[in-house]
Amino acid sequence: MALLIRGGTVVNADRAFRADVLCVGDRIAAVGADLDAPAGAHVVDAGGRYVMPGGIDTHTHMQLPFMGTVTADDFYTGTAAALAGGTTTIMDFVIPDPQQPLMDAFRTWRGWADKSAADYTFHVAVTWWDDTVHADMGVLVREHGVNSFKHFMAYKNAIMADDETLVKSFRRALELGAIPTVHAENGELVYQLQRELLAKGIRGPEAHPLSRPPEVEAEAANRAIAIAGVLGTPVYIVHVSCAESLDAIARARARGQRVYGEALAGHLVIDDSVYRHPDPAHARAYVMSPPFRPPHHQAALWQGLQGGNLHTTATDHCTFCAAQKAAGQDDFTRIPNGCGGVEERMAVVWDAGVNTGRLTPSEFVRVTSTNAAQIFNIYPRKGSVAAGADADLVLWDPLATRTLSAATQHSQGGFNVFEGRTVRGVATHTVAAGKVVYADGELRAERGAGRYVERPAFAAAGAAAFS
């Protein structure tokens, strides 16, 4: 089956140019002027709209068992929502319980993800350590196309990795040519601050940000960067939410250390006033970690993206409905942490990034797709509109507007952190593996059509691999 997208402006991370795009099967066959449509081809008139690489969300949690419940979006509903917003690949997480063999958890998650409507891949979390973890990391890299390992420095008494685990796992990742990633919050500090707030009787959602101030995140970011620096491995810091963590990244990069940072669409446009909403149920819906921050942090994060100290945008899509969040109505530490956004990410980053002049269209492509593909070694298969690449595309109408709302979203979480925000610039068509899966509001996501994306290890082990 051939698909010809005619009359668009192709936008890649390096340039924008008028061109047609011909897809044959699940690959892009040609990009150029005045392409002929093969007999029987499906022709879409781009009408001058942008044709960009399908979005890559480097951070989602579909169907995650967490804090005594399971997220509201499974791998089908979550990837369907992603496609409706122009994201064609998600990077999710295998999160073993402590003492659970990594390979067992990997097989479980692979089974869950089989229903995905879009392509997917997994960062595998290292939540504990012994020789079997060391061995399983090797199997995952060499036989299953895993090239990134996640470390939660938060969530004490659950999935928190202590310094011994961080050091041993970072060193193993380097041996294997894989990149360590971290959730950077000092879990011990969070735990103690939570206890102190509860002891003072401060039990509502307003306590959540008080238990996780920016310094708690920055300490862990600095520590992860220092460990990576000593061991000579790169490091990728997920959901950088505050200026203090960004400063740690900028200092390290200025010294020539290879550190990457990820910003969430939510952290870029939502501030901590949400936790002071008069309705505690509304405030609970915004409980995620790291928390939404005071306004000056959003400005810092945008400067990070513009200045090259933050590299990707993601969502940390981890949705819970109101009833699930109500588990913490008397104790904020029991509110399942997580918010949605997988469908809205690209429109929010375009509206707040491109429409304000912070980002050019090409820089938008870089931070919503290309950098993710390059950092995690799946470029140019992903992250580029070019012959030979996967036929994952999004047609973007920079003039169309949409008001984001739970009433019209495809996610199952029942809440939208961007509720009521009107954005200008939206996906009108999404092409995944050469098929039009979203067109002018009609979602044609196909259960199970998504493929597991293997990510090769980086060439030689050791620092040279990342030069």
| Residue 337 contact, options Zn ion, ligand URQ, none, Cβ 5-8 Å cut-off depending on partner type | ligand URQ
By C-beta, is 51 or 224 nearer to Zn ion?
Answer: 224
| 345 is a site residue for Zn ion (CB under 5 A) | no
397: left (phi over 0), alpha (psi -120 to 50) or beta: beta
- String of contacts with ligand URQ for each residue 176-195, x by CB under 6 A: -------x------------
CA separation for the pair 36, 428 (Å, rounded): 23
| Residue 44 contact, options Zn ion, ligand URQ, none, Cβ 5-8 Å cut-off depending on partner type | none
| Residue 66 contact, options Zn ion, ligand URQ, none, Cβ 5-8 Å cut-off depending on partner type | ligand URQ
CA separation for the pair 380, 373 (Å, rounded): 7
DSSP bridge pairs for 257: none
CB of 143 to ligand URQ, least distance (A): 26
Alpha helices in 237-294 (DSSP H): 243-254, 265-269, 280-284
Position 200, amino acid? K
DSSP bridge pairs for 90: 57, 120
CB of 184 to ligand URQ, least distance (A): 10
Helices (H) and strands (E) in the chain, counts: 15, 19
- Estimate to the nearest angstrom the gap between the alpha carbon of 169 and the chain centroid: 22
Interface residue with ligand URQ among 63, 79, 116, 289 (CB under 6 A) is 289
Interface residue with ligand URQ among 51, 82, 318, 346 (CB under 6 A) is 318
Q: How many residues bind ligand URQ (CB under 6 A)?
A: 9
CB of 217 to Zn ion, least distance (A): 10
The end-to-end CA distance of the chain, in Å, is 40
By C-beta, is 11 or 62 nearer to Zn ion?
Answer: 62
Nearest residue to Zn ion, by Cβ distance, number only: 183
Residue with tokens 């067109």: 439
| Residue 177 contact, options Zn ion, ligand URQ, none, Cβ 5-8 Å cut-off depending on partner type | none
DSSP bridge pairs for 429: 395, 439
| 316 is a site residue for ligand URQ (CB under 6 A) | yes
CB of 83 to ligand URQ, least distance (A): 21
Instruction: List the structure tokens of 294.
Output: 């005071």
Query: CA-CA distances (angstroms) from residue 76 to 86, 120, 161, 185, 458?
Result: 15, 11, 30, 30, 30
Position 172, amino acid? R
CA separation for the pair 68, 88 (Å, rounded): 30
CB of 316 to ligand URQ, least distance (A): 5
Of 385, 351, 426, the residue nearest 14 (C-alpha): 385
CB of 173 to Zn ion, least distance (A): 18
By C-beta, is 183 or 212 nearer to Zn ion?
Answer: 183
- String of contacts with Zn ion for each residue 180-199, x by CB under 5 A: ---x----------------
| Residue 449 contact, options ligand URQ, Zn ion, none, Cβ 5-8 Å cut-off depending on partner type | none
CA separation for the pair 250, 221 (Å, rounded): 11
CA separation for the pair 116, 69 (Å, rounded): 21
- String of contacts with Zn ion for each residue 310-339, x by CB under 5 A: ------x-----------------------
| Residue 313 contact, options Zn ion, ligand URQ, none, Cβ 5-8 Å cut-off depending on partner type | none
| Residue 243 contact, options ligand URQ, Zn ion, none, Cβ 5-8 Å cut-off depending on partner type | none
Interface residue with ligand URQ among 86, 328, 338, 361 (CB under 6 A) is 338
Burial letters for 64-103: b for 16+ Cβ neighbours within 10 Å, e otherwise?
bebbeeebbbbbbbbbbbbbbbbbbbbbbbbbbeeeeebb
Interface residue with ligand URQ among 19, 21, 46, 61 (CB under 6 A) is 61
By C-beta, is 136 or 185 nearer to ligand URQ?
Answer: 185
Residue with tokens 């990510």: 455
Of 438, 461, 462, the residue nearest 449 (C-alpha): 438
Nearest residue to ligand URQ, by Cβ distance, number only: 337
Instruction: List the structure tokens of 194.
Output: 């939570």
Q: Which stretch binds Zn ion (CB under 5 A): 187-195, 251-259, 309-317, 439-447?
A: 309-317
Residue with tokens 């690449």: 389
By C-beta, is 20 or 316 nearer to Zn ion?
Answer: 316
- String of contacts with ligand URQ for each residue 31-60, x by CB under 6 A: ------------------------------
CB of 312 to Zn ion, least distance (A): 13
Run of H or E including 314: strand 312-314
Which residues of this chain interact with ligand URQ, rule CB under 6 A? 61, 66, 183, 288-289, 316, 318, 337-338
Which residues of this chain interact with Zn ion, rule CB under 5 A? 183, 316
